[in-house]
Amino acid sequence: MELTLIILDAGHGPDTPGKRTPDGKLREYHFNSAVAALVGGLLTKEGLTVKYTHDSSRDVPLNERTTSANQMKADAFISIHANAFGNGWHTAQGIETYIYPQASKSSATLASVVQKSLISACQRPDRGVKKANFAVLRDTNMPAILVECGFMSNQTEATLLQSKAYQHQCARAIAFGVLCWEYGR
């Protein structure tokens, strides 16, 4: 049996402007890359092959991320993010998972399983599975999801996003969802 290849994408890059908490204490990439590394470790222990599309030394363009995933003929693409609303602190909160509007049934199933797992593990408001025309969802040839693990613009969730314990919760939930999807297909 061929090993399943999962692509993990720490959304954005270390120097992407504006992708940080209003107080500047957390850059989104630091959360995203920490969770991606944790998810990768968990999936690797379960026998899956994991590759990453991000690079801590530069902002990898979206087309390079999707082209790389397509060339590797990955089985799934998971883009990990922290959300934001507006320019300052805001009350918006919760976790949501995105798929492309014309996504495959497999993408929709993966998104649903990962979203449920995140809500169960993290106990944050459930914003549901949503559809969006994001490049990493549109331009990939495999089931693809984009997870938003909380709002950097919400003070409570910003604190959580900076917490190693919450990062581990998110990673375990994402890995569990991916494994449930993998063994259910």
Question: Is-contact 118 176, C-beta < 8 A?
Answer: no
State the residue for tokens 């375990």: 172
Indicate if 148 belongs to the active site: yes
| Triad 54, 49, 69: Cα angle to 5° | 45
Strand ranges across the sheet with 49-52: 49-52, 5-10, 76-83, 144-151, 95-99, 126-131
Q: Is 101 helix (H, G, I), strand (E, B) or coil?
A: coil
Question: Is-contact 182 48, C-beta < 8 A?
Answer: yes
Catalytic residue among 28, 96, 148, 157: 148
* Cα distance between residue 93 and residue 132, in whole Å: 18
Q: Is 172 helix (H, G, I), strand (E, B) or coil?
A: helix
DSSP codes joined into one string, 48-70: -EEEE--BTTB---HHHHHHHHH
Q: Which amino acids are annotated catalytic?
A: 148
